[in-house]
Amino acid sequence: MQLTEETSDLTVFVCTRNSAATLERCLRSVFRSGHGIKMTIIDQSSVDDSVEIARRLGAEVVSHDVGLGYARQLAFDLCKTKYLAFVDSDEEIIQPRFFDFAIEVLDHPTVGAVVGMSVGHRFAYGLPMGLLVLRTEDFQGRVIPSSINAREEFYVRRKLRRMGLSSVFVSDVMVHRSQYRRYKPEWEGANTRVAAGVNVGQLVFTAQVVLLQSLNSRSPKNIVYAPLFYLKFLKGFVQPERWRILKQVN
């Protein structure tokens, strides 16, 4: 499949940190999604084969030692194409026309973001950045602070809301193979506190997201686990300095 000339004006950014277990599958799925896509890996001090995999597959690599918020902002700063996409290193795109469709949707002036959802997920929530396409011109200047190591979508969603732009969610686009699960609720809670402060609205919003995530899985085990996930989230929220950095263990 050949991408349209307009669609080829796209840079895909993949933020990595010791992502070798899933990275090759991710990058190959992006390259299969069209000819001419530019690919940049923003790597945070990986000690595994992440950088080698990226270079072997033809991606540009930019290295840093700061954090995820810094990496997301760096993508905005580096992008020279009309559109940019974030693809997490543990995602595999299975819908080859997703980027074409996303750019067609972004031609509508009232739409500011297109989100690719996991296979089987039917409930949209928030603004997940695992597979997200944006217009570069909408995100000039400082958007995401370097102090953030999760919940970067808080700033992107706020930016879109201030511009009066909506988001479009597309079903059955990718498969998510999460590497790091342990301490993830605490990590998200801590960074929500850093981003939003003590904000009751954000706590209610997160409770809704946790519920919808568990329902999307259609797993009784995950649905039962949802309240415990939220309690762990609150643990991180009240102790942000302890949990702000994710411990990379399964």
| C-alpha radius of gyration, the chain, whole number | 17
Work out the end-to-end distance of the chain between its first and last CA atoms, rounded to an integer number of angstroms: 37
Q: What is the structure's pLDDT at 45? A: 95
Query: Dihedral angle at the C-alpha atoms of 113, 39, 152, 144, nearest 10 degrees?
Result: -100
Determine contact, residues 181/102, Cβ cutoff 8 Å: no
The pTM score is 0.91
Measured CA to CA, the distance from residue 194 to residue 190 in angstroms comes to: 6
What per-residue confidence (pLDDT) applies to 248? 58
Q: Which two tokens stand for residue 190?
A: 């801590």
Domain map (residue ranges) of the chain: 10-176, 184-243
> Are 145 and 207 within 8 A, CB to CB?
no
Instruction: For the chain, 250 residues long, give each residue's pLDDT as a single digit of tens.
Output: 334 444 479 999 999 999 999 999 999 999 998 767 899 999 999 999 999 999 999 999 999 999 999 999 999 999 999 999 999 999 999 998 999 999 999 999 999 999 999 999 999 999 999 999 999 999 999 999 998 988 999 999 999 999 999 999 999 999 998 766 688 999 999 999 999 999 999 999 999 999 999 999 888 998 999 999 999 999 999 999 999 887 654 4
CATH 3.30.365.10 fits 10-176, yes or no: no
pLDDT confidence of residue 250: 43
